[in-house]
Chains A and B, each alone.
Chain A
Amino acid sequence: MKNEDRKPKGRVGEFIANFGWPRIIIAIFLLLLFVIAPFIGIDIGTSLSDMLVRVGMNGILVLAMVPMIQSGCGLNFGLPLGIIAGLVGAVTSMEQNWQGLFGFGMALLLAIPLAVVLGIIYGYFINMAKGDEMMIGTYVGFSIVAFMSMMWLRLPYKNPLLVWGFSGTGLRTTISLNGFWMKVLDNFLAIRIGAHFFFPTGSFIFFALCCVLVWAFFKTKTGIAMSAVGSNPQFARAHGVSVDRMRIISVVISTVLGAVGMVVYEQSYGFIQLYMGPLYMAFPAVAAILLGGATINSATISNVVIGTFLFQGILTMTPSVINGMLKTDMAEVIRILVSNGMILYALTRKGKGMPK
């Protein structure tokens, strides 16, 4: 066991080793779906744009997994904390009737400080529970979603477009962003080819920007120290790095990315879903990064990008193709099996255990 933990970790070697069979199978499956699609009357242009829109929509939420994985905190099942910050930012920005890119920017500005605060608290929890981070994260995430459900009912929002019509208090379950900042990023410099193909340039620029920022962060002194904490805490401690502090910083960054990711998600989706809506939102993001080749203690930006494309590709293509072929809606079942199967695969990989 001990020797397995200390495998040489060349970047290229690790990437190839991580590109295991589930990824290859899924990639071939996705390719197959794209090949079959035209034969059963599905427009490739539409499918492709659907996939691209969803990649732009979900990418940053997947990116939010990276800092915590790198610092040895495992998969961030506590993503709902960031998501909640994003929701509060969005709703508060809408309350003021802020529109367009300004409204979007203000939502981000409001969400980020809240995410920092929540991240610090969550970070302390994570440090209390070394070795059990994922389980604690899941339930801290669930708890805050339920807690905020009470808050959505009680917080003093007044904008009639946001609250229930008859009582005048309590936010609605689903709020439309139409007229606020719906698709402001998606439509920014968007490329349209023909009637069906649409490329959400703005979302991709924003996603790329976030990826570059995270990538650059891991090149700084703090970033390198963070990775060191994840791969070998004793070594890091011996070099004067505060393990607990690094872990908290990683949790804060993950939570902030979760908040930003949520605001981006909302502008693309066009709706805000409150109450129990965000309960399970961590799971697709976790599945996506694992599908991209990450393990529970190492993740790169390329894992994020590949994973998001593969996972969102499967999610867009399976319903249409399977429905077209079998005339039944098996997409939900396939989604459950693929995403959870992927998480299971990652959890059971030998020699990839967290250092005890």
Chain B
Amino acid sequence: MKQKYSFKGALISNLVPIVFLAFAAFAVPMSGLSIQYLLEEMITRLARDSLLVLSLIIPVLAGMGLNFGMVLGAMAGQIGLVLVVDWGIGGMPALLVAALVGTPISIGLGYFCGYILNLAKGREMVTSYIIGFFMNGAYQFLLLYCMGSIIPISNPELLLSRGYGIRNSMDLPNIRQVLDRLVSVNIFGMNIPIVTFAVIAAFCVFIVWFKGTKIGQDMRAVGRNRAVANGAGIPVEKTRIMAIIISTLIACYGQIVSLQNLGTINTYNSHEQVGIFSIAALLVGGATAENASIVNVFLGVFLFHLMFVVSPMAGKNLLGDAQLGEYFRVFVSYGIIAVSLLLHAWKKRHEMLERRLLENSVKE
């Protein structure tokens, strides 16, 4: 009986990656794109987005669900980059300084986010989602009205023509791919950004190490059961705030890595989609709101971006309309979050009912 149930459970929790694999098997030949091109794209995108998705793991461990508030970290990273461009720093130092500027901002924002989430226990996901929107307002206020008026910006090219406020988009010529190109190896005509992957690997090691530390164990305990953890003397609220701060920090570095790859910032849009895409990617990789591992991250980024690259072309070849493929991929990224949250909630309830039945029969 137990065997059968866990098999069903395993099937349900892996349903999302299975569906995506099936979709990829169908859409890749339809798109007519070469394997070489796709592999190259996947390597670029893995380097670009893995760190952002990694930032989601720690809050899941602490039982806080998918941290939509990671966009706060992305905002901090962008503030760092804007200032670095203004100060005229280029190359690797620019990235380091941007990270240095982003760090205290991320810690502050992470503390704020964690504090609010402690007031909304049991509704962390939707609350963190709204915090993202709310802070987006604050971010716009800071960059659109304060920079260049209250906060001095010396480079006039960054400012809007009215004299204050950062422009909508800017190039990062001295920062573009500095990390990717620092050491890169060419294999079969594909450039592999060794240092970027090394940074990502370092954060993976950090996460694995962190899970084993005292704080990491506390987090897991808090995630399992807050009341029990509290009884065991673990400072529940502090631990939860810590989880969000770490997530925000990794997201900040992730956004810096991601933007150095792209080479441009859309000052008011770059961060907005980051939360949605990262969370969709993680879920596509087979994670749930209660369980996420490093494997989920890489599998997810790979499958999600494969779909991303392939679907406009597949849509065009199949239906004669690229716009349709474009909407299709938006539909899939939202739909996948809806479906996996739904499956997960349903599974959780199913388990709870089963447990209650079991308890009742034991009592009788």
Residues of A within 8 A of B (CB): 77, 125, 128-132, 134-136, 138-140, 142-143, 145-147, 149-150, 153-154, 275-276, 283, 328, 330, 332-334, 336-337, 340-341, 343-344, 347-348, 350, 353-354, 356
Contact = CB atoms under 8 A, between A and B. Distances in A.
A146 B123 contact: no
A140 B131 CA distance: 20
B346 A129 contact: yes
Given A150-B324, A348-B119, A348-B127, 18 more contacts: A128-B346, A131-B345, A134-B123, A134-B126, A138-B126, A147-B335, A149-B330, A150-B327, A150-B331, A153-B327, A276-B330, A330-B141, A333-B141, A337-B134, A337-B141, A340-B134, A341-B134, A353-B122
12 contacts: A129-B345, A132-B125, A134-B123, A135-B126, A147-B331, A150-B331, A276-B330, A328-B145, A330-B141, A333-B137, A347-B130, A354-B123
B129 to A, nearest CB: 7
Contacts of B337: 139
Contacts of A134: 123, 126
B324 A336 contact: no
A136 B345 contact: yes
B4 to A, nearest CB: 22
B269 interface: no
Given A138-B126, A336-B140, A348 B342 contact: no
A139 B341 contact: yes
B129 A150 contact: no
B334 A343 contact: no
Given A147-B331, A348-B119, A348-B120, A333 B349 contact: no
A348 B345 contact: no
A149 B315 CA distance: 14
Given A135-B341, A138-B129, A356-B122, A153 B137 contact: no
A163 B141 CA distance: 39
Interface string B314-335: 0000000101100110110011
B292 interface: no
Contacts of A350: 119
A128 B338 CA distance: 12
A149 B327 contact: yes
B122 A131 contact: yes
Contacts of A348: 116, 119-120, 127
B131 A344 contact: yes
A341 B141 CA distance: 14
Given A129-B342, A143-B334, A344-B116, A135 B137 contact: no
A356 B226 CA distance: 14
A149 B331 contact: yes
B144 interface: yes
Main secondary structure of the interface of B (DSSP, over half): helix
Contact of B123 (A337, A341, A347): A347
Q: Which are the 5 A-B pairs with shortest beta-carbon distances?
A: A336-B137, A139-B338, A146-B331, A129-B345, A348-B119
B136 interface: yes
Contacts of B323: 153
Give the contact-size bracket for chain B: 35 or more
Given A130-B349, A347-B126, A356-B122, A333 B331 contact: no
Contact of B138 (A142, A276, A337, A354): A337
B20 interface: no
Contacts of B129: 135, 138
A274 B119 CA distance: 37
B145 A330 contact: yes
B308 interface: no
A276 B130 CA distance: 20
B345 A344 contact: no
B133 interface: yes
Contact of B145 (A77, A129, A333): A333
A337 B338 CA distance: 26
Given A129-B341, A154-B324, A347 B120 contact: yes
A129 B349 CA distance: 8
A336 B327 CA distance: 26
Contacts of A341: 134
A136 B338 contact: yes
A153 B321 contact: yes
B30 to A, nearest CB: 16
A336 B133 contact: yes
A275 B326 CA distance: 12
A336 to B, nearest CB: 3
Contacts of B141: 330, 333, 337
A131 B341 CA distance: 11
Nearest to A349: B119
A136 B338 CA distance: 6
A345 to B, nearest CB: 10
A142 B273 CA distance: 13
Nearest to A134: B126
B334 A136 contact: no
Interface in B287-337: 321, 323-324, 327-328, 330-331, 334-335, 337
Contacts of A356: 122
Q: Among A77, A275, A337, A348, which residue has the most Cβ atoms of chain B within 10 A?
A: A348
A332 B136 CA distance: 11
B120 to A, nearest CB: 5
Q: Among B125, B134, B145, which residue has the most Cβ atoms of chain A within 10 A?
A: B134
A354 B120 CA distance: 11
A135 B125 contact: yes
B66 to A, nearest CB: 9
A333 B130 contact: no
A334 B134 CA distance: 10
A143 B331 contact: yes
Interface string B137-153: 11011001100000000
